[in-house]
Chains A and B, each alone.
Chain A
Amino acid sequence: MFGMNKNDTTMLLLVAVLTMLAPFILNPFPTDSGLAQFNAGYPDLMQRFVIFGIFAIGFNILFGLTGYLSFGHAAFLGVGSYSAVWMFKLLSMNVIPAILLSVAMAGVFALVIGYISLRRSGIYFSILTLAFAQMSFNLAYSVLTPITNGETGLQLTLNDPRILGVSQTADGSIPVTSLFGMEMRSTYEMVVGPWAFQFNVGYYLSALVLLAVFYLSIRIFRSPFGLMLRAVKSNQQRMNYTGLNTRPYTLAAFVISGMYAGLAGGLLASMDPLAGAERMQWTASGEVVLMTILGGAGTLIGPVLGAGFIKYFENIFSKINESVLHSWFSALPDGLEDLLVTLVYPFVGKGWHMTLGILFVLVVVFLPGGLVEGGQRITTWLRSKKADGNKPTSTTEPAE
């Protein structure tokens, strides 16, 4: 279907089903049960899942295919956000022009940064991109304050021009971002018994964009261009010796991946019209690297999983505070309760970084292929168990 083989079609359909049914899947626990703490099905987090999924998919086109590890991708995300917010300030609150400008601006930035950085490979390339990203961050943070509003972040005000829209609505408030009248923030809440499921316009827009760019990424992975990029990863020198100039290919991959990041930035700003410089900081660039590696670099679905994993930790685990822990263990005797709370507390709340770090180490050590490899191992194990049932005497032969 759509020029894809059967496996890829299945995967796209799987992603489509998962994203479309996310409000149900992510809200498995009744609203007033103790486990509701772990529900992730609220608009803001679902939007973050898919938007950072887009960011990671784009990063994976560069890192997974060519092996070039960019440490400055957050710069493009930031550029995208600022462009989008400026579009909301100057033109209108429609998200289409904002997203288009974010993608275009990020593309231009990626072209310039990529043109210079791609003269080197390996660690030098990583350092160059990191340097550019830090430069962009510092520019946004202080030097370009008139454009970026520095640390406070760029925000909409009541006296922005908004040529094609209105500066303020009839009741004197700032208009909200919309797609031809459909407000991004409008949410329909469906209450089924003790459950509440939220369907948000902004989320579904982001999810549709995710599906489109996921499809595009599949096509890139399977195209001759994608094959060329993989060749760059396996041995670039050899390609150069055969008389082939690889730079146009790597630059194209860099720009495409930068535009994905810009798209993610534009979407972030469309969901919540604010752009802060910290979006460009090196920690943000490192985060997308973590997402990709955690999920499985070079695989199609891995980065989306990784993005979801990290965002879940950031938003759900960080909110478990001491009193929540006490309520969990309240059935136990006092001394034991306090002991358990003391033991668990460093790993949740503000300690969520530590839990994530431990998991990251475990994944890298035991599952070098990321969560995707974990999934594969489980399926293989299940299959072999099934096969074992049929042929109990079969032994596993090494492949080589």
Chain B
Amino acid sequence: MKLLVNYSRGKEKKPIIAQVVKDTGVLITVERAIIDSSEGEALIDVPDDACWLVRDKMADLGAQVRILEHGVSLNEIECVDCGACISVCPREVFSFDADFKLQVVEERCILCGMCVEACPHQALTIPL
């Protein structure tokens, strides 16, 4: 399950993710993160059964956590199966089936948004 974690770094600059890993023993994969001097946003992946535990623990440490149940979503009416998204995706979310119909493996999506820009038909959206 993917979680989007937003936190303000404040004065102490607490290592929130490291702290949660230490306290819970849950192994967290950081899919991508943007951290600057005052705030941070990280997309993390955790095992489904540890999702709420990690969420609560991070919330206790002052982070805002959103559980992302969905990755990129495809509007099948707008999509013409061109495949412009296939090569720009860093996680190989998109592929063609034998009939050249676009297939989406949503679970792999890290919500980077590359495909959203690259789609000529505005058929892709990410829930952020």
* Genuine A/B complex: no
Chain A interfacial positions (CB closer than 8 Å to B)? none
Chain B interfacial positions (CB closer than 8 Å to A)? none
